[in-house]
Chain A
Amino acid sequence: MFRLFVVLFAVGIAGCGGPATPAVLNEIILGATLPLTGKESRAGLYFKNGYTLAVDEINAAGGVMIQSVGRKLPIKLEIVDDKSDSMTAVQLAEHLITVRGIHALLGTYETKLVLAQSVVPERHKIPYVTGGGAASEIFKRDFKWVFGLLSSVEAMAATFMDWLAVEQDAGHLARPARIALAWENTAHGQDFRAGTEQRVAAHADRFTLVMNEAFELNSKDFTPLMLKLKAATADVFMSDTHYPDFVLQHKTYLQMGLTHPVVAYGPRGTEADARATLGDGVNYLVSGQWWTQELPYPESRAFVKNYTAKYGDVSSYYPGLAYETARTMIAAIQTAGTIEREPVRQALAAMDRDGAILPGRRVYFPAKTGNQIDNPSVLVQNMPGGTFRIVYPPDAATGAALVPPPR
């Protein structure tokens, strides 16, 4: 029996390892683990599409110029499934680096997966850009190799509150405004709550928090939450949600006949399938977006066109973030002119790139935030007929917000 154990152990180990490092460099290999299955599989799918599109575009243009070999090299993308599981995200990142010989690592999606995974690039000293982990916790660990393209969730919540203040000053919203807050019990939700609470505490004259409720991810009944919301008689209902919870919450909200001057579901609301399910019920919802197809920049417009042609729906921020994440890494390699890790890392650290599709159009990684980008997020309001308006910040706005919505 014991011999069997030994044999299996050896076979198991041999099966997992394998040869690495090709002799001649004739392609650049970017690796990524993504949650293609499990709780985050929606995001995983869009991230895969975004990464693939960015790489395909570069390859169609002949690849990336690498000075050290004196010619353009194509990019190969290695994507594996981390099953929305922290340990798998860590192990597979190790696998990509040590067995598949990738030259740089692109991040997975969801804060907790990135929190676990970011240790790996730091250990192996390999450049890592993530567009899927927003919690500032990730960037508080003084890592040198980890770069974040997603502004913090606290900042997004703060953006909401700043906009509410603008609406108050315009006389559209009561002052102080009674805020009802609900947040999913995830890292994202915790940060959203923190950002909101900070602003409420700082501006007691403007805001009162009348409800502060956590809920489980993928809940199957939001009736109690909505009964509480109804009893709270709020001016603003803000909820931080994943897509399925957003649809179920808003469905319950509409069925109960609730109305508020402002209703927002964090980054949700612009999705095309939400309109298909809830119809005109999604009109006038406000959402905070790290990227949106409404951005008027030419690069963003071109991306929307190409993405839609290839994959269809681009109504959430995931594909845009993924696309820009891959482009950022490629740009850093281009600037460094080599796939040597340290020069690429330096290119990322020193990066101040224009022409990004993100709000603000710039990509940079300030040292004071631990290499996390500090771009504004934009607020988008759904309009009747499936159109959208960017309503905040003023310099990006494409129209005025309707607060309260017309009856």
Chain B
Amino acid sequence: MTRLIPILLLIALAALPFAGPAIPGGVYITRLAVIGLLYIASATAWDLVGGLTGQVSFGHSAFFGIGAYMTAWLVGTGWPMPLTLLPGALLAAAYGALWGWPCLRLRGPFFAIATIGVGEATRLIALLAEGVTGGATGLTLSIGGWEHTAYYLALGLVVVAFALSWLVRRSSLGLGLSCIREDVEAATSIGIKVGWLQVQALMLSAAVVAAAGGIYARYLYYVEPGDVFSFNRGIALILMATIGGLNSKWGPAIGAVIFLGLEQGLAAWFPQGHLGIYGLLLIGVMLYEPNGVVAFGRKLRGVASAAAR
């Protein structure tokens, strides 16, 4: 039964754009779901580096922005939109290798702060490279095409992200990354190629996040450095994965859904207090369940099964 649920959910999600107009608020939910799906895919991909490898990256905004811009450029030269995601993913993976190779030797807060530097430097370069990126004004995409293109691409990307996460975790790569997370020195001593494995994880994760950026560009019909390379995007991925539960199959996805609901719901209904309410919730989660919702769920299940016995 449990095995059927993912398939049923996938079918339900695939039907949503058509069922949308019939449900109250369904049109809005369909639009919001695009962002939700992009968040789920990105957070799941981020977790390959931030959770599985234990290297917290603030710099994934760089990949998101590269993907978004690649799509904006290529669509502008007449490429069919879905095809633009591939070059975006490849370029982002290459960019990840470029800075990941030197930076992934750092650990803990050193790596985290280095990624802040990378993310912000990328944003500033994009802002200054006016001829390429349009500078602060950004680039607009022509409006049109099938209304639900972005939705189904995002749904597809979620499937890809989950599959990737599942495959990596089952492979020797995943095993090696776990060793690195637990103890770098021990990992090195048993012959794990610490540098190369981490770079691989970063490249895979970069590719998925870049594809999400590309779909986002098509969704917004507009890209601009301050938005797609924003520091807040990096923070958002960390929040999603941590709220849901780092290094878990469903954690980042659950976190992404909670994050989106809070982000949108609070801003829509509490214009005066959304920042503070959000901050208080975050404090609460970190105090009572720093390992995220997934850990909380496990505890609940433990209590339930104990009660059943």
Contact = CB atoms under 8 A, between A and B. Distances in A.
Interface of A: 1-6, 8-9, 11-13, 15-20, 36-37, 79-83, 85-88, 90-92, 94-95, 98-99, 111-112, 115-116, 119, 122, 135, 137, 141, 185-187, 189-191, 214, 216
B99 to A, nearest CB: 22
A31 to B, nearest CB: 11
A137 B9 CA distance: 41
B127 A12 contact: no
Given A3-B5, A36-B271, A119 B136 contact: no
B267 A80 contact: yes
Interface in B235-267: 248-250, 253-254, 257-258, 260-261, 263-265, 267
Given A81-B267, A95-B264, A187-B224, 5 more contacts: A8-B254, A17-B23, A19-B24, A94-B32, A112-B222
A98 B27 CA distance: 7
A16 B127 contact: no
A5 B268 CA distance: 23
B136 A190 contact: yes
Interface string B87-103: 00000000000000000
Interface in B260-302: 260-261, 263-265, 267-268, 271, 274-275, 293-294, 297-298
Given A81-B274, A112-B138, A92 B268 contact: yes
Interface in B194-229: 216, 220-222, 224, 226-227
Complex A-B, nearest 5 residue pairs according to Cβ-Cβ distance, in ascending order: A17-B25, A12-B261, A98-B28, A187-B137, A81-B271
A186 B134 CA distance: 11
B143 A18 contact: no
A83 B267 contact: yes
28 contacts: A1-B248, A2-B2, A5-B250, A5-B253, A6-B9, A11-B261, A12-B257, A15-B265, A16-B25, A16-B268, A17-B23, A17-B26, A19-B24, A37-B275, A80-B267, A81-B267, A81-B271, A82-B267, A85-B227, A91-B32, A92-B268, A112-B227, A116-B222, A119-B143, A119-B221, A141-B140, A187-B224, A191-B137
B254 to A, nearest CB: 5
Interface in B15-47: 23-29, 31-33, 35-36
A267 to B, nearest CB: 17
Contacts, number: 151
A15 B28 contact: no
A16 B23 CA distance: 13
Contacts of B258: 8, 12
B130 interface: yes
Contacts of B264: 16, 88, 91-92, 95
Contacts of A92: 264, 267-268
Contacts of B135: 185, 190
A119 B255 CA distance: 29
B131 interface: no
Contacts of A15: 261, 265
Contacts of A4: 250, 254, 293-294, 297
A99 B165 CA distance: 35
A95 B264 CA distance: 9
B125 interface: no
B172 interface: no
B145 interface: no
Contact of B130 (A12, A17, A88, A190): A190
B271 A115 contact: no
Nearest to B2: A2
Nearest to A214: B128
Residue with the highest number of chain B CB atoms closer than 10 Å, among A5, A11, A141, A186: A5
B6 interface: yes
Contacts of B216: 87
A37 B279 CA distance: 15
B32 A16 contact: yes
A141 to B, nearest CB: 7
Contacts of A90: 220
B35 to A, nearest CB: 7
Contact of B298 (A1, A91, A95): A1
B232 interface: yes
A86 B222 contact: yes
A87 B222 CA distance: 10
Contacts of A216: 124
A9 B297 CA distance: 15
B271 A112 contact: no
A374 B6 CA distance: 55
Given A9-B257, A112-B138, A185-B136, A119 B222 contact: yes
A290 to B, nearest CB: 19
Nearest to A97: B28
Contacts of B33: 13
Given A2-B6, A17-B25, A85 B232 contact: yes
Nearest to A82: B267
A2 B31 CA distance: 24
A1 B5 CA distance: 11
Contacts of A112: 136-138, 222, 224, 226-227
A95 B268 contact: yes
Contact of A115 (B26, B140, B250, B293): B140
Contacts of A17: 23-26, 28-29
Contacts of A115: 137-138, 140, 222, 224
